[in-house]
Amino acid sequence: MKLAFLQYFIYCFLKIVGIFGAMKKYLFILLVLNIWGCSSKKATDIKYSFDNIKQIKIGFGSCLSQDKPMPIFNAIKSENFDLFLMMGDNVYGNSNKEGLKELASAYKRQKQNFGKMKFDFPIEAIWDDNDYGLNDGGKEYLFKNESKELFLDFWNIPDDDPRRSREGLYHDVSLIYKGKKIQVIFLDTRTLRDSLKPTSEKGAVGKERYIPFKDSSLTMLGSKQWQWLRKKMSQYSDYRILISSIQLLPIGHGWECWYNLPYERDRMIELIDNSNSQHTIILSGDRHRGGLYQLKTKQGNLISEMTSSSLNVSYPNSEEAGPLRIGDTFTEENYGAIYLDGAKNTFSVMLKNTDGKILQSLQLNN
């Protein structure tokens, strides 16, 4: 039985029995269905389908310490999001000893925090270094398998989810809304990433911690994730969102970002440019500052990146260099919001502060 047919059958059945009428925000959520067909190949997409609502609202954010107050969630909960994307540093628990006591303790505390806040929206997540377990860490981290298990268990990832059987946490989510497909791709920039090149001028502008490592043999994602990503990017979507825990476009600073491995950054931009999307959205975190960045590709397509960081771990700093930045960055606590309006056929991406005030925004028309 084809997966699409089974999903449609379930949809029609639920429609008939009237379950949808009682659901305010989203009509149904079909999680990964483990169907074995003639080819014995599992379905891996997680699909959210929406109908009879005027607007889809998706929130996103990063950098959430389990030990600090979280007033920003008052604004986030008032948004009535249909889905929220946690983009990394979802807890702070760096651990360098077997057993990962610090990381396990951080997750325990965060679980208590989430329980008290009583979120009424589903969450999809990827990690960054502080919930990976090693600051700025890559594939050299000795306890990455143990930290992965803690992540999967905290986010209640099913036992038969492909993330439990493959190396890395990369995955994608499909949203269907009024006949349009929104593809959300989560990249794992930790598990398979090669080492970075430390700066010899620590703290210098543009060389704060790392400098570009111009070696084309180095990888950010690893060969299997690149292969998976190329396949996903070849699929049709009306809107495409890439989640990268670290920044892709910025080239004006020496903190952790894709520009640390410039050949990999170029490779990603080329892959995006050769996809079917004329305007691709990147969502990133990590930096403890939020902002908007844009790049026009060789083929005339547009890549827009909205960085949202942090939810409750702000580090006030002076403005940084940014040749691809649009406007200022914001170091106060912030979160992101995406509104997809079916009637107006608009797709808006915003950065907001703790009061819900818009700090930066962009709009796609499709």
- Least confident range from 22-36, 312-326, 342-356: namely 22-36
d(CA 359, CA 320): 17
Tell me what pLDDT residue 10 has: 46
- 89, 85, 91, 133: which is closest to 112 by C-alpha? 91
332-363 core/surface letters (b: 16 or more CB in 10 A; e: else): ebbbbbbbbebeeeebbbbbbbbeeeebbebe
In order of their start, the domains of the chain are 1-43 (no CATH), 54-365 (3.60.21.70)
Tell me what pLDDT residue 31 has: 37
3 state SS of 55: strand
Question: What's the mean pLDDT in 326-336?
Answer: 97
d(CA 114, CA 102): 18
Question: What's the mean pLDDT in 218-223?
Answer: 98
Tell me what pLDDT residue 342 has: 87
Tell me what pLDDT residue 45 has: 72
Contact 160, 121 (CB under 8 A): no
Question: What's the mean pLDDT in 210-219?
Answer: 98
pLDDT per residue as tens digits for the range 95-132:
999 999 999 999 999 999 999 999 999 999 999 999 99
* pLDDT at residue 24 tops 70: no
Tell me what pLDDT residue 366 has: 64
Res. 150 pLDDT band, cuts 50 70 90: very high
* pLDDT at residue 29 tops 70: no
Question: What's the mean pLDDT in 281-290?
Answer: 98
* pLDDT at residue 8 tops 70: no
Tell me what pLDDT residue 365 has: 76
Structure tokens at 243: 């989640």
Q: Is-cis flag, bond preceding 310, omega within 30?
A: yes
